[in-house]
């Protein structure tokens, strides 16, 4: 998983760590970066040795950045038809993350703007450092979000609050993002990575089938009627109930020992 031009890849105890690495442009998301993100998370999905992923920005010097946005210099040369194709490519990368059967946490340090925030929102959870700045400033450039921002932001924080951010293009700091529910935790700048990695290791240690089915149940059930969602949960409860991992988990509880899950 190391053959990437714009991503730095590491593995720690079942956790895939992905760092966006374009320091000269504050980790802006070019079409090449988007393609690499889609590739690395497709491989992540297929790798049974990995149980969680941590996505963050590489070192950008005095101006820290998760990803400062899409690559505007690249976009400025595109026609309307080409911009639509670019949007679909970005959405493909985001969907690859969101639809993963293993949890992905975004650790946001510094700027997460435009496409950068859209990338973070595609992750299952988001933690931010105290210095983080988040926003969807596309309207200030005369455009709209193209990588899912106009759809995921209302689902995360509500329609009215999302429209306020989308229509003003204003940026917010991490404390306000926490109030809105856009991030789950705010952590000190110095400890963000270590704490996020420790959390991901915890997620990676959990029962793999149950972990995948929880993500599936939440993702598919979120936007459907409650009765249909409850039926989905019951169906998945039956699926997990037929696995060997369930027997192992229940027996380990009764025997007061640590379970040893095998994913079957």
pLDDT over threshold 60, residue 1: no
Specify the pLDDT at position 84: 94
Q: What is the mean pLDDT of residues 70-98?
A: 92
Q: Each residue of 188-238: pLDDT tens digit?
A: 999 999 999 999 999 999 999 999 999 999 999 998 999 999 999 999 999
> What integer pLDDT is reported at residue 137 of this predicted model?
97
Buried b / exposed e over 55-78, threshold 16 CB at 10 Å, is: bbbbebeeebbbbbbbbeeebeee
Question: Strand, coil or helix: what is 11?
Answer: strand
Domain ranges within the chain, ordered by starting residue? 7-204, 208-254
Q: What is the pLDDT of residue 2?
A: 60
DSSP string, 143-154: ----SSHHHHHH
208 class by beta-carbon count within 10 Å (0-12 exposed, 13-18 middle, 19+ buried): buried
Determine the Cα–Cα distance for residues 237 and 229; give it in Å rounded to an integer: 12
Q: Give the containing element (helix H, strand E) for 72.
A: helix 72-75
Q: How far is CA 249 from CA 60, 75, 258, in A?
A: 44, 51, 8
Tens of pLDDT, residues 108-165:
999 999 999 999 999 999 999 999 999 999 999 999 999 999 999 999 999 999 999 9
Q: Answer yes or no: CATH 3.90.226.10 is held by domain 7-204.
A: yes
Superfamily of domain 208-254: Lyase 2-enoyl-coa Hydratase, Chain  A, domain 2 (1.10.12.10)
Nearest to 198 by CA among 185, 208, 209: 185
Q: In the predicted model, what is the mean pLDDT of residues 86-101? A: 96
Structure tokens at 231: 């039926």
Average pLDDT over residues 27-49: 96
Q: What is the set of active-site residues?
A: 118, 138
């Amino acid at each position: 998983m190391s053959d990437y031009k714009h991503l730095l890849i590491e593995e720690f105890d079942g956790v895939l760590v992905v760092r966006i690495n374009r320091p000269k442009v504050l980790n802006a998301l070019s079409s090449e970066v988007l393609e690499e993100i889609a590739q690395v998370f497709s491989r992540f999905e297929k790798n049974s040795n990995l149980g969680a992923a941590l996505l963050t920005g590489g070192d950008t010097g005095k101006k820290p950045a998760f990803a400062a946005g899409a690559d505007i210099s690249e976009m400025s040369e595109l026609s309307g038809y080409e911009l639509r194709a670019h949007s679909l490519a970005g959405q493909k990368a985001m969907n690859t993350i969101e639809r993963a059967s293993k949890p992905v946490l975004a650790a946001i340090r510094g700027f997460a703007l435009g496409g950068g925030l859209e990338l973070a929102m595609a992750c299952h959870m988001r933690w931010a450092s105290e210095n983080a700045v988040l926003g969807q400033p596309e309207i200030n450039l005369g455009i709209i979000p193209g990588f899912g921002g106009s759809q995921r932001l209302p689902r995360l924080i509500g329609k009215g609050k999302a429209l306020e951010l989308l229509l003003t293009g204003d940026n917010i700091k991490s404390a306000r993002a926490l109030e809105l529910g856009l991030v789950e935790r705010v952590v000190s700048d110095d400890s963000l990575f270590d704490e996020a990695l420790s959390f991901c290791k915890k997620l990676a240690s959990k029962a793999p089938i149950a972990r995948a089915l929880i993500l599936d149940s939440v993702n598919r059930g979120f936007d459907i009627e409650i009765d249909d969602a409850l039926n989905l949960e019951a169906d998945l409860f039956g699926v997990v109930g037929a696995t060997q991992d369930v027997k192992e988990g229940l027996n380990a509880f009764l025997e007061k020992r640590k379970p040893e899950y095998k994913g079957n």
